[in-house]
Amino acid sequence: MDTDLNSQDRKDLDKFIKFFALKTVQVIVQARLGEKICTRSSSSPTGSDWFNLAIKDIPEVTHEAKKALAGQLPAVGRSMCVEISLKTSEGDSMELEIWCLEMNEKCDKEIKVSYTVYNRLSLLLKSLLAITRVTPAYRLSRKQGHEYVILYRIYFGEVQLSGLGEGFQTVRVGTVGTPLGTITLSCAYRINLAFISTRQFERTPPIMGIIIDHFVDRPYPSSSPMHPCNYRTAGEDNGAAYPSVEDSQEVCTTSFSTSPPSQLIVPGKEGGVPPVPSQPAHGTQADHERMVMCTPLDGALYSAATPSSSEDTETVSNSSGGKSGSPHDLLETIFVRKVGAFVNKPINQVTMASLDIPFAMFAPKNVELEDNDPMVNPPDSPDVESPLQGSLHSEGSSGSSSGNTHDDFVMVDFKPAFSKDDILPMDLGTFYREFQNPPQLSSLSIDIGAQSMAEDLDSLPEKLAVHEKNVREFDAFVETLQ
Amino acid sequence: MNCRAEVLEVSVEGRQIEEAMLAVLHTILLHRSTGKFHYKKEGTYSIGTVGTQDIDCDFIDFTYARVSSEELDRALRKAVGEFKDALRCSGSDGIGQISLEFYQKKKSRWPFSDECIPWEVWTIKVNVVNLANEQERQICREKVGEKLCEKIINIVEVMNRHEYLPKMPTQSEVDNVFDTGLKDVQPYLYKISYQITDSLGSSVTTTMRRLIKDTLAL
């Protein structure tokens, strides 16, 4: 029941939830691109940053999210889900994570929408930024490239967890109570990463086909297509038709913002805590065309002022350029590329065993894997003597969620400190192993040397005889030198 | 008002101390920082934007997101560096703890100094282990990475309980709640201190209090 919620608060809340859902999708997909994300802080509000956080909007992702939402908002029984899966070059795929944005019926009538809910949604997004880096799929996504890619799929409705395998873990990112219900953001992730496929790992060219061809058939007939988590720069974006301006299917056609309330302004009172007004001063809205006044808990009035611009442009944060080609201008985002999807590594010079493939232990034995190499597959350390075992069991912390136990999947990859493979296709350890034992120079071989020496000795008398015949020529030559 | 206290424990190798501490402290401060407040006339203010960046650890298989602020990073690195040096000087079985305390200032009349009232304290207990060979170090990289993942989840869980936070201040009181000295972000007022326990564990040999912001000067 939202009879206690006035219409303006209702509009604000719907808008917050909508843009929170869009930003949630952006954070999740960007965290699975395989690159480090970097956005700049700005002391001056730019007028385009929802929840006071610099989160870039990839137009394709926004388009997919809006398509999945289809004008609806997450509500009780209708969750927005982002599915992250892995697809190998052989075509085998495996679901890794399901991120769920849900709403339940537990309402918080007393909470202030434009202040408390907004700030708590901002906090929840920060938590999402932190949590997306700690689930197992993050490390897999950082290594994607030749052998596999990470795909995402957005759907709306009932959560489908069956693809995660048995014993999946759940981590709750956080909750925010609102007058309409409690928003919950959580992640269910697979822990059993044992690969089902019986196909052999072969050297294959980069999976260009999957990257280019977005649409992959899924077992669920009503499901949305999968998309690669593969960022293309603005230069590469060939102006795909992602409508960003004047989307007529927007749910919230309120006058709240063409730019989000990062220009939230608080008329704090000097000299003490102001009394709590019982009603937001909506009367001022008549004076300022898009001014929303709401009352935060501490009593200070909290208003959102938006610049006067066209009223019906429901753009998403920084897509104010109106075109889909270059919406990245307002946020100075720096993407640090670690491994590009189209990078051609000199793979014919690198053995299978020295690559960072996560399923190396399942590769066939005809390839010389370093099974016996203690650097890759360390023997079990003794339980008693090693200080490592005893001291790494920390007892503290009341964490209800368990850690990332990779019981079925252990890959020990030798990484020297500070090693990076941005420039060379192999890391220092691999390079060292490769070139540790170079072949011996043939001229230094004893057999060949001995053989030539014997031949030389045999031919010596003949050579001496020839030279003795030419003694006069040699003498004449010597005289010319003097 | 009671101060909320949270305790985390980690066991790390010596060279991992710095990165592990920075990962935890930055994650906490990510949640406890806002954009810069810009007060305008009529007592209204606007809020700046907080950017984030991913940091890969060199000695731990771990990546964390932190606030994009070089000033904040420098302040934390300085404190963590001192803690690390103190830990490593304390002996081979160093045990120590570093505390991040969020507080509010309460103005007092002269001659009394301003009172600092903590409202949240995070304590990270560190146990330094010594490893014998590279193989154990390799395992330690991953184990500590997994443990840090658990710690991040714990931190997020606490943050999202939405317990007490200081009220949004007026312009005259903003310095009592927030650290307004940074140019790009605005964390809540905080201070970092640490304690080192020697190998005997029976007494505290060194207690140093390092104030990032000197709030006690008259």
Residue A434: per-residue pLDDT: 74
pLDDT at B194 over 80: yes
By Cβ distance, the residue of A43, A127, A177 closest to B183 is A43
**ipTM of this model?**
0.90
**In angstroms, rounded to a whole number, what is the distance separating the alpha carbons of residues A231 and B207?**
49
By Cβ distance, the residue of A45, A130, A139 closest to B46 is A45
Torsion of CA A210, A215, A219, A220, to 10 degrees: 150
Which tokens go with B113?
Answer: 């100094």
**In angstroms, rounded to a whole number, what is the distance separating the alpha carbons of residues B190 and B177?**
9
| Residue A135 with chain B: CB contacts under 8 Å | 149
Q: What is the pLDDT of residues A84-110, one digit of tens each?
A: 999 998 888 899 999 999 998 888 888
CB contacts under 8 A, A 382-441 vs B, are: 386-388, 391-392, 394-405, 412, 414-415, 417-418
Would you place residue A417 in the very low, low, confident or very high pLDDT band (cuts 50, 70, 90)? low
pLDDT at A54 over 60: yes
CB contacts under 8 A, A 8-67 vs B, are: 36-46, 49, 52-54
Q: What is the pLDDT of residues B73-124, one digit of tens each?
A: 999 999 999 999 988 887 656 789 999 999 999 887 777 777 889 999 999 9
Which tokens go with A138?
Answer: 């993050």
Residue A293: per-residue pLDDT: 33
Contact A388 B143 (CB under 8 A): yes
Higher pLDDT, A170 or A372: A170
pLDDT at A16 over 50: yes
Between A425-429, B59-63, B204-208, the lowest mean confidence (pLDDT) is in B204-208
Q: What is the pLDDT of residues A211-256, one digit of tens each?
A: 333 444 444 434 566 777 765 443 333 434 444 433 333 332 222 3
Residue B182: per-residue pLDDT: 93
Residue A466 buriedness (CB in 10 A; 0-12 / 13-18 / 19+): exposed
| Mutation for testing the A interface, residue in B25, B73, B152, B160 having most A CBs under 10 Å | B160
Would you place residue A353 in the very low, low, confident or very high pLDDT band (cuts 50, 70, 90)? very low
Between A93-97, A399-403, B71-75, B210-214, the lowest mean confidence (pLDDT) is in A399-403
Question: Strand, helix or coil at A107?
Answer: coil
Predicted TM-score (pTM) of this structure: 0.62
Q: What is the pLDDT of residues A280-300, one digit of tens each?
A: 333 333 333 333 333 333 433
Distances (CA, A) of A155 to A67, A220, A257, A316, A470: 9, 11, 26, 19, 96
**B74 within 8 A of B86, measured Cβ to Cβ:** no
**B31 within 8 A of B159, measured Cβ to Cβ:** yes
Helices (H) and strands (E) in chain A, counts: 9, 11
The whole-angstrom distance between B115's CA and the closest CA on chain A is 18
| Any A CB within 8 A of B41 CB | no
Query: What single-letter amino acid sits at A263?
Result: Q
Would you place residue B164 in the very low, low, confident or very high pLDDT band (cuts 50, 70, 90)? confident
Average pLDDT in the A144-172 region?
89
pLDDT at A325 over 80: no
